């Protein structure tokens, strides 16, 4: 992987816009191609709010290392506030505490990525974030379209094993798109730790929420849930990616 100090911003924006448009077209069959129905749905609101999320991501991407560290600390604080509120209402606090500890450890690996791979951090952030988003998108689309084998009830039987496989596939597509249109990646094989991390993070989050009898950690991000909901997949991905890079010595 070569250092890319001049990430083509326009390419990144075009890729995001195209992905949003294609994603909208792919979910239309769920609404029998009734655009008006889709526009009034919760899914439309969820997709719309990817726009401000993307803008925040751009701001962080082109910030200094100090600013990124402060932003990461802020996310941890906001996540802790969500956790603290829900923990008070949970019957079994042990499971929630274990999950949240693992979640924070995962997020902390963004700091380690910046510390150990500072020259490549922008490339890594783009690859990791975009691939993790595509991982979640493919999990939803594949789970909805061909998912027939439900996960165990103790995890979340509204999700399927096909959706879990979709997370790996989505990660691969995300890595390929970033590599070809935005910036070189360390290796195509980086899709594995990203996809596996997304799957583990999503399932761990589902398990913790089911045990606590909650749907979302909060309503901070409309139809996305809380900060923990939005960050659980990528937090675990950061953990897996860091040790993948350490063990393979690709950077």
Count of beta carbons in the 10 Å neighbourhood of residue 232? 31
Least confident among 30-34, 51-55, 126-130, 139-143: 30-34
- In the chain, where are the structural domains located? 52-248
pLDDT > 60? residue 23: yes
Note the pLDDT tens digit of each residue in 203-246: 999 889 888 888 899 999 998 999 999 999 999 999 999 999 99
| Arithmetic mean of pLDDT, 79-103 | 88
Contacts for 90-97 with beta carbons within 8 Å, 24 or more apart? Answer: 90/211, 90/212, 90/213, 92/211, 92/212, 95/207, 95/208, 95/211, 95/212, 96/208, 96/211, 96/212
Q: How confident is the model at residue 79 (pLDDT cuts 50, 70, 90)?
A: very high
Cα R_g (the chain), whole angstroms: 18
Residue 142 CA to residue 133 CA, distance in Å, equals: 14
**For residues 146 and 201, which has the higher predicted lDDT (pLDDT)?**
201
Count of beta carbons in the 10 Å neighbourhood of residue 20? 16
Task: Provide the mean pLDDT of the chain.
Answer: 89
> What percentage of the chain reaches a pLDDT higher than 90?
57
Note the pLDDT tens digit of each residue in 157-176: 778 888 889 899 999 999 99
**pTM for the whole structure:** 0.92
| Arithmetic mean of pLDDT, 118-125 | 91
Q: How confident is the model at residue 6 (pLDDT cuts 50, 70, 90)?
A: low
What is the model's pLDDT at position 244?
96
| Arithmetic mean of pLDDT, 138-162 | 82
Q: How confident is the model at residue 149 (pLDDT cuts 50, 70, 90)?
A: confident
């Amino acid at each position: 992987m070569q250092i890319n100090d001049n990430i083509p911003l326009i390419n990144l924006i075009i890729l995001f816009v195209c992905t949003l448009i294609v994603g909208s077209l792919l979910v239309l069959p769920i609404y029998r191609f009734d655009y008006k129905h889709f526009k009034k749905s919760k899914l439309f609101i969820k997709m719309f709010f990817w726009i401000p999320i993307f803008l925040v991501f751009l701001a962080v991407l082109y910030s200094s290392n100090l600013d990124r560290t402060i932003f990461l600390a802020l996310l941890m604080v906001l996540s802790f506030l969500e956790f603290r509120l829900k923990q008070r209402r949970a019957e079994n606090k042990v499971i929630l505490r274990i999950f949240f500890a693992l979640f924070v450890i995962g997020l902390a690996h963004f700091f380690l990525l910046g510390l150990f791979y500072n020259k490549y951090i922008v490339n890594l952030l783009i690859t990791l974030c975009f691939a993790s988003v595509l991982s979640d998108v493919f999990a939803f689309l594949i789970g909805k379209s061909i998912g027939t084998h439900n996960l165990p009830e103790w995890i979340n039987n509204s999700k399927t094993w096909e959706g879990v496989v979709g997370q790996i596939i989505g990660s691969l597509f995300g890595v390929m798109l970033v590599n070809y249109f935005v910036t070189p990646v360390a290796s195509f094989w980086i899709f594995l730790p990203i996809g596996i991390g997304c799957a583990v993070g999503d399932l761990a989050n589902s398990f913790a929420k089911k045990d606590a009898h909650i749907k979302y950690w909060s309503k901070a991000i409309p139809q996305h849930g809380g900060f923990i909901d939005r960050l659980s997949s990528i937090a675990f991905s950061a953990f897996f990616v860091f040790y993948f890079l350490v063990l393979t010595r690709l950077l």
